[in-house]
Amino acid sequence: MFTKKVASAKSFITSERLPPTDSASKFHCRRVYYQTMAWMGLESDIDPLEWGWRQVDNKLVPIMSDKKAAPDVLLKMVHCNCTTGCSGHVVLAENMDCRAPLRVAHAN
């Protein structure tokens, strides 16, 4: 999803505008289920460590994901912010001159 959004974007895509990864969604749903059980007074029947939480210093901390959001090479890329002279849909590696773009294949 990240690759497709970046490749087809006409402007810079911020991470806040991307949908969650499959892993992040999985852990979010597990935490929601555990919270629902807590509201119903049934949390003692299930182990929070099996429902999207981990224990740190005797506190429950949410597991946000067990995978990276995207491959490292993609996370280091930024979208070209040129206002003129670019052909569009160009993604550049960090600190790379606009005249030497690293192109990302368009998702069809």
Task: Check whether residue 43 and residue 78 sit in a common domain.
Answer: no
Task: Check whether residue 50 and residue 81 sit in a common domain.
Answer: no
Quick check: pTM over 0.95? no
Task: Check whether residue 2 and residue 25 sit in a common domain.
Answer: no
Task: Check whether residue 48 and residue 63 sit in a common domain.
Answer: yes
Report the domain count for the chain.
Answer: 2
Higher-confidence residue of 4 and 20: namely 20
**How many CB atoms lie under 10 A from the CB of residue 104?**
19
Give 19-48 pLDDT, tens digit per residue: 788 899 999 999 999 999 999 999 888 999
Give 43-72 pLDDT, tens digit per residue: 888 999 999 999 999 999 999 999 887 777
Task: Check whether residue 73 and residue 61 sit in a common domain.
Answer: no
Task: Check whether residue 2 and residue 38 sit in a common domain.
Answer: no
Query: Which residue range(s) make up the domain with 28?
Result: 19-67
Task: Check whether residue 24 and residue 60 sit in a common domain.
Answer: yes
The CA-atom distances, in angstroms, between 46 and each of 16, 40, 56, 79 are 32, 12, 18, 45
**56-81 b/e (C-beta count within 10 Å ≥ 16 → b):** eeeeeeebeeeeebbeeeeeebebbe
Higher-confidence residue of 8 and 58: namely 58
The two beta strands, 59-62 and 77-79, are unpaired
**Tokens describing residue 52:** 């999207």
**Tokens describing residue 50:** 């099996």
Task: Check whether residue 78 and residue 44 sit in a common domain.
Answer: no
